[in-house]
Amino acid sequence: MLYPPERPHRTRPLADRSRTIPLPSPLRSMPVCRPAPYLEAIAIMAPLIALVIASVLLLNEKPQAPNWMPLLILVVILLIFIPLLIVTWLFMQSVRLSPSGIAVGRPFQRWREAPWQEIVRAKRSGMFLHFYTSSGASIAFAPRLLTDGDRLITVILDHLAPHILVGSLRAEALDQMEMDEPESDVMGMLRVRPRGRWPFSGFALALAGISGAVIALFLLPLEFAIALSLLGVVVALFGVAAAVWLLQEVILMGEGLTIIQPWRRSPVELAWGEIKVLDHSANWLLLRFRAGRSVRCIGPALLRGPERVRMLAFINHYCLDRDVLNYPHRWPFF
Domain presence at residue 1: no
Distance CA 180, CA 305 (A): 16
Domain presence at residue 185: no
Q: Give the confidence band of 132 by pLDDT, cuts at 50, 70, 90.
A: very high
Domain presence at residue 155: yes
Which tens digits make up the pLDDT trace of 306-332?
A: 788 888 888 888 888 888 888 888 776
Domain presence at residue 137: yes
Residue 290's beta-bridge partner residues? 277, 294
Do residues 201 and 132 both lie within one domain?
no
Return the percentage of the chain with pLDDT > 90, whole number: 7
Do residues 23 and 109 both lie within one domain?
yes
Of the listed ranges 79-88, 118-127, 269-278, the least confidently predicted one is 79-88
Tell me phi and psi for residue 142, to 5 degrees.
-110, 105
Domain presence at residue 149: yes
Secondary structure E strands in the chain: 94-98, 101-105, 112-115, 119-125, 128-133, 138-141, 190-192, 249-252, 256-260, 268-271, 277-281, 286-290, 294-298, 325-329
Domain end (from 245, 261, 283): 245
Do residues 222 and 268 both lie within one domain?
no
Domain presence at residue 235: yes
Do residues 112 and 76 both lie within one domain?
no
Which tens digits make up the pLDDT trace of 18-70?
A: 454 444 444 454 568 888 776 666 666 766 666 666 666 665 655 555 666 66
Higher pLDDT, 40 or 134: 134
Do residues 167 and 108 both lie within one domain?
yes
**pLDDT value for 70:** 65
Q: Give, rounded to a whole angstrom, the gap between the first and last alpha carbons of the chain.
A: 93
Q: Is the pLDDT of residue 89 over 70?
A: yes
Domain presence at residue 66: yes
Do residues 25 and 153 both lie within one domain?
yes
Packing angle, helices 305-315 and 168-177, rounded to 10: 70
Domain of residue 53, residue span: 37-91
**pLDDT value for 60:** 62
Do residues 263 and 291 both lie within one domain?
yes
CA proximity to 252, closest of 169, 174, 311? 311
Domain end (from 245, 266, 285): 245
The DSSP call for residue 195 is -
Q: How many domains does the chain have?
A: 4
**pLDDT value for 224:** 79
Distances 245 to 2, 77, 125, 198, 200 between C-alpha atoms, Å: 79, 31, 21, 10, 12
Average of per-residue pLDDT across 160-168: 82
Cβ atoms of 176 and 125 within 8 Å: the answer is no
Q: Kindly report the average pLDDT of the chain as a whole number.
A: 77
Residue 287's beta-bridge partner residues? 280, 297
Average of per-residue pLDDT across 228-239: 89
Distance CA 287, CA 318 (A): 14
Domain presence at residue 103: yes
Do residues 127 and 274 both lie within one domain?
no
Do residues 167 and 220 both lie within one domain?
no
Q: Is the pLDDT of residue 7 over 60?
A: no
pTM here is 0.55
Do residues 267 and 142 both lie within one domain?
no
Do residues 282 and 324 both lie within one domain?
yes
Backbone angle region of 276, left / alpha / beta, with phi > 0 → left and psi within -120 to 50 → alpha? alpha
Do residues 164 and 48 both lie within one domain?
no
